[in-house]
């Protein structure tokens, strides 16, 4: 049994070999070395092109190397008409997909003829000119702006009559009033508009 007194007697024998041992340098200690960071792997880049003019045919694919900053020559990945917006599906286990939104005019717009506005003004159609139509449209917008300032019942009756093209009896049923009351509301509304606009009055049928 190693007692306290015996340990103190033997302590110098244990201390001498420890002091005589050569000191180990820090460079030889087993520190874990950091691994060098690998450069990013090359990635695929997709381009949407306008196929309406030129020789483009759709979506093209290139390979970009972040290490060298080089981009390979684009190759056709998918033939489609005017892909204007591209998006990649989220990275998951399995293949990824490229989604495209195509900027294609609908059939009505593609078949509708287009002419220069100056040429259209000079063509006589037998009806009102473009300037006259623009003035009429401005007057209509001004009238409906004034309708919005009418009292609630008058405004409702005017909208149902002249915008929804409803009959007096139907307006009366919708508003819970008699046909005579509806006619009076419309008459007062038209009168107020005539005072503000200066247009000739119209008879409510």
pLDDT, tens only, 49-79: 888 777 888 999 999 998 888 999 999 998 8
Architecture of domain 128-197: Orthogonal Bundle (1.10)
pTM for this model (two decimals): 0.37
Report residue 179's pLDDT band, with 50, 70 and 90 as the boundaries. Answer: very high
Residue 105, CB-side half-sphere exposure with 13 Å CA sphere = 8
| Residues 68, 62: Cα–Cα separation, whole Å | 14
pLDDT tens profile 41-55: 888 999 998 887 778
Alpha carbon separation from 175 to 159, 168, 205 (Å, rounded)? 12, 10, 18
Query: Hey, what are 30's tokens?
Result: 């087993």
Report residue 143's pLDDT band, with 50, 70 and 90 as the boundaries. Answer: confident
Query: Hey, what are 124's tokens?
Result: 């006589």
pLDDT tens profile 84-113: 888 888 888 788 888 888 876 655 555 555
Between 179 and 23, where is the model more confident?
Answer: 179
Residue 203 has pLDDT above 50, yes or no: no
Q: Hey, where are the domains in the chain?
A: 43-102, 128-197
pLDDT of residue 25: 52
């Amino acid at each position: 049994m190693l007692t306290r007194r015996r340990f103190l007697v033997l302590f110098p024998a244990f201390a001498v070999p420890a002091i005589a041992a050569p000191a180990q340098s820090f460079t030889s200690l087993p520190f874990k070395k950091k691994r060098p960071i690998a450069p990013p792997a090359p990635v695929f880049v997709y381009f949407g092109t306008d196929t309406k003019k030129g020789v483009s045919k759709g979506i093209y694919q290139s390979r970009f190397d972040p290490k060298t900053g080089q981009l390979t020559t684009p190759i056709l990945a998918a033939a489609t008409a005017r892909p204007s917006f591209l998006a990649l599906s989220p990275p998951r286990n399995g293949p990824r997909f490229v989604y495209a939104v195509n900027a294609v005019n609908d059939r009505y717009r593609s078949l509708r003829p287009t002419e220069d506005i100056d040429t259209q003004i000079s063509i006589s159609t037998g009806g009102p000119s473009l300037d006259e139509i623009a003035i009429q449209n401005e007057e209509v917008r001004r009238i409906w702006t004034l309708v919005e300032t009418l009292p609630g019942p008058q405004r409702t009756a005017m909208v149902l009559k002249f915008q929804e093209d409803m009959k007096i009896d139907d307006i009366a049923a919708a508003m819970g009033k008699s046909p005579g009351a509806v006619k009076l509301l419309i008459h007062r509304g038209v009168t107020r508009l005539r005072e503000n606009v200066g247009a000739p009055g119209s008879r409510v049928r």
